[in-house]
Chain A
Amino acid sequence: MATDRDFTAPVSSIGWRWLGRVAGGLVYLFLILPVLVIFLSAFSPGAYPQFPPESVSLRWFQAFFDNRAWLKALQVSAWLLLVVTPLTTLLGTTAAYALARLQFRGRDVLQAFVLSPLIIPQVVLGIALLYVLTGMGLSGSLTGLAIGHILVALPYAVRTVSVSLASMDRRLETASMSLGATPAYTFRHVTLPLIKPGIVAGAVFAAVTSFGEVSVSLFLTAPGTVTMPVRIFTYIDQTFDPVVNAVSAIFIVLAVLALVLIERTIGLTKAM
């Protein structure tokens, strides 16, 4: 994105410029409003947030860690994250490399295909997977959930690694192979170190996506395999538990941390 460029506005339009900035600022305020609300609630002593806040309390965080059902959901989400992240990163890296290096007709179609889970309605993905996994006897299992998460997270990993691959100097690979190294050796010793930022960013995306995945997961969970987001969903649906605020606050902090990581590796502008 060329947003680092100096986008100079004409001298005369100072008035318009300020109008634009105020309008823009309001939109960002609108965007950040829910986050502020959640932090307000997470730290509020009462079940409902007060504005302005009266005092700060950590009781909902405490309640979260005291609640076995929540901890079980955390465990499921954590397990999935640990399994899904490496697998997605692996599949994503290999696919991205192959798509970048191979030349064949229909490569563009394949590229669109790999990215398609991003735009297929997750309702459809959910049902299709539910049906197939039921047939395989995996519906409601952790394996099934893992498959669903990998499917949804894969496009992100492919994209970040592709960005890294595109900015890497290909002549280094050519040089390596001209010195007698096999493509596999070159990949391992030349390419991989160079695309590390993209791989790390891809892993971060995979982790964050898996941890927060709910639209497809709702079709694939069973009472014994409830993830954090799924639990939040059923909880909000049925009752009002302020612990959800605390959980949400944690999620948001994790998201910002993930952002920082992605920015440090391949940079936010290119990741999106």
Chain B
Amino acid sequence: MTDHAVELPVDGAPRAWVRRPHGYWGGVSRRLSRDPTTLVCALILTTVVLAALLAPYLDLADPYRTSVIYRLKPPGTPGHLLGTDELGRDLLARLIYGGRLSLLMGFVPVLIATLVGAVLGILAGYFGGLVNAAIMRTMDVFYAFPSILLAVAISGVLGGGVMNGLFSLTLIFIPSIARVSESITMGVRTQDFVDAARVTGAYPHQILLSHILKNVIGQILVFSSSLISISIVVAAGLSFLGLGVAPPQAEWGLMLSTLRPTIYVAPLNAILPGIMIFITSMCFNLMSDGLRNAMDVKG
């Protein structure tokens, strides 16, 4: 059998065969690492996330210690780098501790919603027919409600608190992720290599796991990552309305709400939580854009 490779003329070695073969994701990370916007955003986000994670170990003031004397001190006051809030608590500490909750409420709902929504959408997209109708029409029911109102409604019914907030946020993202997953899957499903896999007599779960999943997960992740920023903002909104995190916990949205009455007195302090929300969600957004661009190339 060994003489076959010699007999039959091979039309040339593969292109760029001197380089090690790299997969698709290798190419994606390479392109990501060359994009300045993505790098800057990654840097900023890493700083924010690290600060949030390491908060207990940093030399911060007690975020819960109130002080009547040092209320609404401006940034730059000795001992309080970013000033204090309306109850005299150190803003820097509260922003960093608040970041923990805000990031949690940004990330976790999107993560869970992706797991649930992607599965639903991929199944709907692959099988079509009745399965598709059952899943997608159910999604449509939820989709019909504006997401923020839905979150407010669910939280209102269940009551406030972090867990209920996470639950309602997760619920509002599932339909859109399912929809996007369904349409991406339908696009992949019509390609010849899926037919080729079907001809081998493979069962649907084998085709889904080996062939479909790898081709859809990237695009679904791009979409999901763009939802993180929305989730942070909506979580902040829920807290702002009193439906999410309850005082005296630190959370950016809640801080915005409690500092709002002081905006004419200490404007700089009042907008600081808003700036954090803005920076974090912008960075997530830009990184998701960068990811999409990096994934856009054929191979």
Question: Are the chains A and B members of one assembly?
Answer: no
Q: A-contacting residues of B (Cβ < 8 Å)?
A: none
Q: B-contacting residues of A (Cβ < 8 Å)?
A: none
